[in-house]
């Protein structure tokens, strides 16, 4: 079995299109799954959503997707927050409003209907769980050096042999006994010092899950130009972060 997971485009259509082309070149896959955070803080919120929908990829919802839906529905939406501090500040809500002005009601409904997690049965029923941040919340942050208890919960809660997630914009792998925990990095806003778009390919040949990390260069000059030509708040800062792949 061969599963590709891409995540966290954050409105960066240039990065997403490069990854989609790389997927086409290096397939086939049993499935491609999108890990959430489609639109927030990027120039092409609606276009990113339509790229994923148009290909028929299954997807999970991210924390910023939930917050967009909540704002669009005037609070009439149940968030998976575990603490009120996980909500967007007024400054971050400016990005939410900017994205929503460019999205349709149908696109908001699409985000609202996405699940928190997707479970895939691999060979010998070796379950792969895909989520944005954790299987129980789109907000909780599990870093590469997270305590053992937190790392184990990522696998134990869904009873998974492998758990793959986005959210932290930093790709890594971690062995937990004979199981695998991995973060896939970010398509549109890597934060690990490498500006190239990141995604993973998860494989299982009957001997358990393994992960291949892929990095894809894209036209970062065009991405920067689109940012600077837009009315997106803090566009100069975002363009600089895009090149440095850090904040």
Q: Whose structure tokens read 């899950």?
A: 209
CATH assignment at residue 158: 3.60.21.10
pLDDT at 91: 96
Give me the pLDDT at residue 19, please: 98
The predicted structure's pLDDT at residue 220: 98
Per DSSP, the three-state class of 63 is helix
Q: Which of 185, 227, 157, 220 is nearest to 4 (CA)?
A: 185
What local confidence, expressed as pLDDT, does residue 70 receive? Answer: 98
Look at the chain and report how many structural domains it folds into: 1
Low-confidence ranges of the chain (pLDDT < 70): none
The pTM (predicted TM-score) of the whole model is 0.97
Structural domain including 237 reads 2-244
The continuous run of DSSP H or E covering 216 comes out as: strand 209-216
Angle (deg, nearest 10), helices 90-100 and 63-72: 70
Strand order in the sheet with 2-6: 58-59, 31-34, 2-6, 197-204, 209-216
């Amino acid at each position: 079995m061969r599963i590709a997971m891409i995540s966290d485009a954050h409105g960066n259509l240039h990065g997403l299109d490069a990854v989609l082309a790389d997927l086409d070149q290096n397939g086939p896959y049993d499935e491609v799954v999108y890990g959430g955070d489609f639109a927030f803080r990027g120039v092409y919120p609606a276009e990113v959503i339509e790229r994923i929908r148009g290909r028929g990829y299954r997807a999970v919802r991210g924390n910023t997707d939930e917050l967009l839906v909540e704002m669009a529905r005037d609070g009439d939406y149940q968030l998976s927050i575990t603490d009120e501090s996980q909500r967007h500040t007024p400054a971050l809500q400016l990005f939410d409003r900017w994205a929503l002005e460019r999205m349709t009601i149908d696109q908001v409904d699409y985000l609202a209907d996405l699940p928190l997690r997707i479970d895939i049965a691999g060979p010998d029923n070796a379950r792969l769980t895909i989520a944005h941040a954790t299987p129980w919340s789109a907000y909780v942050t599990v870093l590469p050096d997270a305590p053992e208890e937190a790392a184990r919960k990522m696998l134990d809660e869904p009873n998974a042999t492998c758990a793959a997630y986005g959210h932290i914009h930093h790709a890594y792998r971690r062995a937990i006994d004979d199981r695998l925990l991995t973060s896939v990095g970010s398509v549109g806003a890597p934060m690990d010092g490498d500006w190239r778009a990141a995604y993973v390919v998860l494989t299982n040949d009957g001997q358990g899950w393994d992960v291949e990390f892929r990095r894809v260069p894209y036209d970062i000059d065009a991405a920067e130009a689109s940012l600077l030509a837009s009315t997106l708040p803090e566009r100069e800062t975002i363009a600089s972060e895009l090149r440095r792949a850090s904040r």
